[in-house]
Amino acid sequence: MLVALCALLARARGSSGDPFRVIPRLFVVVGVFVLLLRVANYAIVPYSHTTHLIPTHLRIDGLLFGVALCYGWTYHRASVEARLHRRGALLAASIALLLPSLLLDIERDWAVSTVGLTLNYLGFGGILLLAISAPPSSGTLRRHLVAVVARIGFYSYSIYLWHLLMLVFAEMVRRHLGDVATLGLYLLLSVAGGMVLGRVIEGPFLALRDRLFPSRSGVD
């Protein structure tokens, strides 16, 4: 759907050098509509992860928010960077937006699976903007830390895809390890397993894609 939308906008751009300028307004409309859908869904359907967290129509606003961020950074980078001068305030606001989902029980507090999901992507979006607009790192330790985080970020989608499988394994040994150790094992397996599987499965397919459909931008 997103690919079709972008192709349609690019084809209908006319003489404009900004074919995707409608995306921010589209995100606002979709974001409000999907939030209302989540509220209605929670009021009608008994809570479960399957019915409240997985359906695409209840989560598509987060995807579109990422597209809107990408649009702003690509087409209006100077304007976006000019708004990031108060980095400390943005970091504090982003953390505050993430706190409800970290502190509240998603199965008992209706706000977590409704407006909480909206706050989540807004909070992570703020942190993402801070990360990509950060000045060059100084100091050996900081450079190594940035390199490690960047490498994890490179494999983030693979980590996301495989983390549920790692959770199943962690739950199998939970009674032998306890909650804290199980959480640590789950995080370790999610990151390490996602990176390994990303290299084994995703890497070859990306290489095949690049051979069949080489980038026309000249940027890797």
At 128-143, the pLDDT tens digits run: 888 888 776 656 766 7
- pTM for this prediction: 0.76
Number of separate domains in the chain: 2
Query: Are 152 and 93 found together in one domain?
Result: no
The overall average pLDDT reported for the chain is 85
pLDDT of residue 138: 59
Question: What is the per-residue pLDDT across 90-114, written as a single tens digit (0 to 9) for each?
Answer: 999 999 999 988 888 877 888 888 9
Whether the Cβ atoms of residue 58 and residue 41 lie closer than 8 Å to each other: yes
pLDDT, residue 59, reads 92
Question: What's residue 173's pLDDT?
Answer: 83
Residues 151 and 66 both lie in one domain: no
Alpha-helical (H) ranges within the chain are: 2-11, 23-44, 49-52, 60-75, 77-82, 87-103, 115-132, 140-154, 156-172, 174-177, 179-197, 203-212
Based on the fold, state whether residues 147 and 187 are members of the same structural domain: yes
My answer on whether 117 and 13 are in the same domain is: yes
- Where is the domain boundary, 135, 164, 180? 135
Residues spanned by the domain of 206: 139-220
Residues 146 and 129 in one domain: no
Same domain, 52 and 160: no
The answer to whether residues 149 and 117 belong to one domain is no
